[in-house]
């Protein structure tokens, strides 16, 4: 059975960076599941139709890392029919050999509840806003407001709310360097049998 690592947490916590590093270290495939929702939101029109018709090329758009795409992703992710259309894709990806790392908001709780390792990566609101502002060249106060709005929406949605799985290892990256956070995640994966 492939080794699956589920990484959840809020935006700009470091989960994507950690997920990519873990995938590279262990030779696993990586899926940033947020890109699926960003692509659906960025396509516009009927979100359910966009989710059902999502193609690999849609994940290569240049605008998927923008703040607007992130907000659109959070809105369409609250639609049950959109989520249902993307669940099978994510589960098939997770089942690939020799293993997979998926990062998102509901990987350990909904998509891959049987993952061998579940991490919930977080950081303080202020740290996350600073990181996102530096990444996007945006205003830190505006980023803080947007992150808090998005966190509230993602945690309060009826379908697959953002929360740590009961058996997830909490990794707070607020005071860690990237290398420290990655090292802790690699150590946790090794202890889980990767």
User: Binding site residues for ATP, as ranges?
Assistant: 9-17
Nearest Cα to Cα of residue 182 among 30, 18, 20, 26: 18
Is 12 in contact with 126 (CB distance < 8 Å)? no
In order of 96, 143, 186, 191, the CA distances from 34 in angstroms are 19, 18, 22, 27
Q: CB under 8 Å to 36, separation ≥6 — which residues? A: 51, 54, 59, 86, 89, 90
Nearest Cα to Cα of residue 117 among 105, 93, 101, 95: 101
160: left (phi over 0), alpha (psi -120 to 50) or beta: left
Q: CB under 8 Å to 193, separation ≥6 — which residues? A: 3, 116
């Amino acid at each position: 059975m492939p080794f699956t690592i589920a990484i959840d947490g809020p935006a700009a916590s470091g989960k994507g960076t950690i997920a990519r590093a873990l995938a590279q270290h262990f030779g696993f495939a990586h899926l940033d599941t947020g890109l699926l929702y960003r692509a659906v939101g960025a396509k516009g029109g009927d979100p359910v139709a966009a989710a059902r018709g999502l193609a690999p090329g849609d994940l290569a758009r240049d605008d998927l890392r923008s703040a607007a795409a992130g907000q659109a992703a959070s809105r369409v992710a609250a639609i049950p029919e959109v989520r249902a259309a993307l669940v099978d894709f994510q589960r098939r990806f997770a089942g690939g050999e020799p293993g997979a790392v998926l990062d998102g908001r509901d990987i350990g709780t909904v998509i891959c509840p049987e993952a061998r390792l579940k991490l919930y990566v977080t950081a303080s609101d202020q740290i996350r806003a600073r990181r996102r502002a530096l990444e996007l060249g945006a205003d830190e106060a505006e980023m803080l407001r947007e992150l808090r709005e998005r966190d509230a929406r993602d945690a309060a949605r009826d379908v697959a709310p953002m929360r740590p799985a009961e058996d997830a290892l909490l990794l707070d990256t607020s005071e860690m360097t990237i290398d420290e956070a990655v090292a802790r995640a690699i150590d946790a994966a090794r202890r889980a049998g990767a």
